[in-house]
Amino acid sequence: MNKILILTAVAAIMLAPTPQFAQSKRKKNKKTEAAVTPPAEKKSESTIKEYSKVITKDAISDKGLFTVHKVDKKYYFEIPNILLNKDMLLVSRFSKLPSNLGGGYVNAGSETNEQLIVWQRFQDKILIKLKSYKSIANDSLPISISVKSNNYEPTLFAFDIAAFSKDSANTVIDVTKFYSTDVKSISGLSSAMRETYKVKGLDDSRSFINAMRSFPMNIEVVQDFTYNASKPPVLEDSETISIQMNQSMILLPEQLMQPRLADSRVGWFTISQFDYGSDELKSDSKTYIRRWRLEPKDPEAYARGELVEPVKPIVYYLDPATPEKLRKYIKMGIEEWQKPFEGAGFKNAIIAKDAPTKEEDPDFSPEDIRYSVIRYVASTTRNAVGPSVTDPRTGEIIESDVIWYHNHLRSYRNRYLLETGAANPSARTLHTSDEEMGDMMRMVIAHEVGHALGFPHNMGASCAYETESYRNGAFTQKNGIAASIMDYARFNYIAQPGDKNIRFIRQMGAYDHYAVNWGYRVIPNSKSPQAESTTLDKWILAKTGDPMYKFGKQSSSFDPTSQTEDIGDNSMKASTYGLKNLQFVAAHLSEWTSDVTNNYEDLDELYKEMLDVWSRYVGHVVTNVGGVHENLQKPNQKGNVYEIVPKAQQQQAMQWLQDNAFNSPTWLVNVSTLKNIDYAGYTELFRNLQARHLNNVLSFGRIGRLMDAEIMGTTNYKALDLLRDMRKGIWKEAVTGTNVVIYRRNLQRAYIERMNYLMTEEIKSDKSEGYYNVSQSDLRSLVRGELNVLKGMLVIAKSKALNTETKYHYEDSIKRIELILNPK
């Protein structure tokens, strides 16, 4: 990894031919290239000095992409003119920052901005121009003039030319001001942060350039910035925020990677462009997948079907801060993807390495854009993320940093206990074994690396397996708990006590192998993205109808088969098993926690998380009501893209909710536990949970979908069916003549408040809430009708009330309904 000067090699790369597909991009403009060469006549350039007067003998120089000079307290770039007008990425990251900046999800290594730039000569200045490939057209077409005129690129910064090299091949500029002042697009502090922390401005006396290094293809700059702020995230009395930023600038390849057209039936992160040179009668939208450039070392052997190593493998380095005992599991998580890549024809496509020591490579830095790193962050945040840096011209992933937060394993220990403890004796402890925790970490790392390889969440993968199969040991050992590691399916909460040889922790699935092959396999003799389409489509059609290879979008919140944190193909059956297990855990929670530790901290933490688990299981069932199945497909496939969930399934879900979500939670509200962790708020704790799901069922969007269902067929579950079933279930005591306990009284008042909301509010958000004008729809008349029916029920029930609390409750409810129906 020793640094070498390869400017001549860079120049050779710049002259390399581009593939045919890239001809729609902007071609070289000879007039522009000629203009960047400094004129021989310099008489009018009074501010431009001789090279030796600017870059003196005292200069400390660092050669690389640009030569970086430090002269006293000033920094200079000496830019080869052949690199003017060449595409580069400017990536801004935090290198060091105060705790809790940005609310806990911002950390050392977090990217704050990613901008495509070009360095451009204009008269006696060098400009940094921000460039976009959102709108393109071949320069040979007349419309390219309009594309340029209507997509004028902003100037990020302007520098006076300080000098030219003796041979006039390089231009020298002073970059001190650019890197030492508050240039907001690279500062790291967003507008929201500046407002939250009441940032007044940069303190020049406490801000400086820490280091500036030049490498063959990139330049790395470290800045120390101190801001005056009235409300900093820590040490408020200091009225100070100090951060360290790393600015990476990397030359993008002149030889573009051939992009691959995206297909919604296979999940990928994407980039999009509008091609105004298209023969279509409009700008042609092109969407490409985001992926690493993998090319076989031996194309002929690859074409014969042999496993071949890539020219440049994907390499991840472990953060030197990573605890020793976790390193092997992180490496295993990275290299979990080797098998799927072998399915795409590549051997050793992805490799995990320890970071080099200072002795091995003094230049190594996790912020250096040449290196992809698994960052280990000392933070109380419980999460992990897998972002990446992408070439916006083609979707080529240049680099990625997977970020692991130190406390994240705590979440997995807790959920392992709560979700599997009933059927899994090894989970019934606060000290889960290193092997089991390592297995969990390995799979979380694999999941985040999957994001960094280009894969979004596939929330349909957990519905690929029949619910009963999760109780089959042989099946779970072979298939895990989802068809993809990219689903939010973490543990097998369906398996019951007595089930044998169960795998409880997720693992890679068949979809992961399929998606890697679809996106990364090189298709011989396909010289353009369009030429690949037929083959790619055949691969998808070959898997049609097999739920193992279905992609479910995370944004499809209306589809019960594309939910987060669920497993199994039947939500009601899976959640019934889950609640049965949770009831066992609730009865033993003190035994596994406070009885062992002799304090209540873990009991308190796990009890509150147990309520969240209960809520998740309920939420999975709610989605079936007013649900719509989304089947991503094309016209040459059978069936419709959107199909309403069958009426019987929705009725089953409604009955399940009445029996499990809206009944009194006698086992969940564990009095013996509550008396040791809080002095009050017992009923409110559960009222809030029940009201959340009641409001979710009675939402504008759900009712709107059910009103749409009415015109789709007479056998569908309708909005009136939903409102009637809710009224009958929530107010069943009014019919049976039984007392209403405090939990149910709270829930019934929440019902009235929600009906008032439906009567008086309008849709304020986007399509997730609905597609319709509420006041001109059936909604208000349906709600008014149900409230009138309920009022009549309560008038009769009040006279038959068995205790005073129930009688008063009914009287109060009648008054509340009257105020809704007659607000004046």
Q: In angstroms, how far is CA 634 from the centroid of its own chain?
A: 26
- pLDDT of 140: 65
- The alpha carbon of residue 582 and the mean position of all alpha carbons in its chain are separated, in whole angstroms, by 29
Per-residue pLDDT tens digits for 614-634: 999 999 999 999 999 999 999
Taking Cα atoms as reference points, which of 435, 448, 426 lies closest to residue 325? Answer: 435
Cα distance between residue 336 and residue 294, in whole Å = 17
Q: Is the pLDDT of residue 19 over 50?
A: no
The whole-number pLDDT of residue 284 equals: 67
Mean pLDDT to the nearest integer, 472-485: 97
CA angle 446, 448, 454 (to 5 degrees): 100
Q: Which range scores top for mean pLDDT: 40-49, 274-283, 447-456?
A: 447-456
Helix (H, G, I), strand (E, B) or coil at 18: coil
Which of 28-42, 415-429, 649-663 is the least confident region?
Answer: 28-42
In angstroms, the CA 255 to CA 795 distance is 79
pLDDT at residue number 362: 86
* pLDDT, position 224: 94
Residue partners of 189: CB distance under 8 A and separation at least 6 = 199, 227, 241, 243
Map tokens 């606060």 to a residue.
Answer: 430
30 membership: H or E segment, kind and range: helix 30-35
The bridge status of strand 170-174 relative to strand 74-80 is antiparallel
> Sheet holding 284-289: strands in order across?
135-136, 270-275, 284-289
Give the DSSP per-residue string, 330-368: HHHHHHTTHHHHHHTTBSS-EEEEEPPPTTT-TT--TT-
Q: Name residue 291's beta-bridge partners.
A: 396
Q: Are 1 and 364 in contact (CB under 8 A)?
A: yes
Express each pLDDT in 84-106 by its tens digit.
Answer: 999 999 999 888 888 888 776 78
Highest mean pLDDT pick, 27-31, 100-104, 646-650: 646-650
pLDDT at 304 over 90: yes
CA 288/CA 290 separation, integer angstroms: 7
Q: Which two tokens mark 522?
A: 């090189």
Q: What was the pLDDT predicted at 451?
A: 94
Exposed / middle / buried, residue 684 (Cβ in 10 Å: 0-12, 13-18, 19+): exposed
Q: Residue 52: how many CB atoms within 10 A of its CB?
A: 11
CB 259 within 8 A of CB 288: yes
Give pTM, 2 decimals: 0.87
pLDDT above 80 (res 713): no
For the chain, give the mean pLDDT: 89
Mapping DSSP to helix (H, G, I), strand (E, B) and coil, where does residue 3 land?
coil
Separation CA 283–CA 528 (nearest Å): 19
* CB contact burial 470-484 (16+ within 10 A = b; e otherwise): bbbeebbeebbbbbb
Give the whole-angstrom CA distance, residue 443 versus residue 283.
42
- Do residues 748 and 679 touch, judged by C-beta distance below 8 A? no
How many angstroms separate the Cα of 751 from the Cα of each of 374, 444, 662, 727, 730?
48, 40, 11, 9, 8
- Answer whether 686's CB lies under 8 Å from 614's CB: no
pLDDT at 26: 37
- CB burial string 19-29: b at 16+ within 10 A, e below: eebbebbbeee
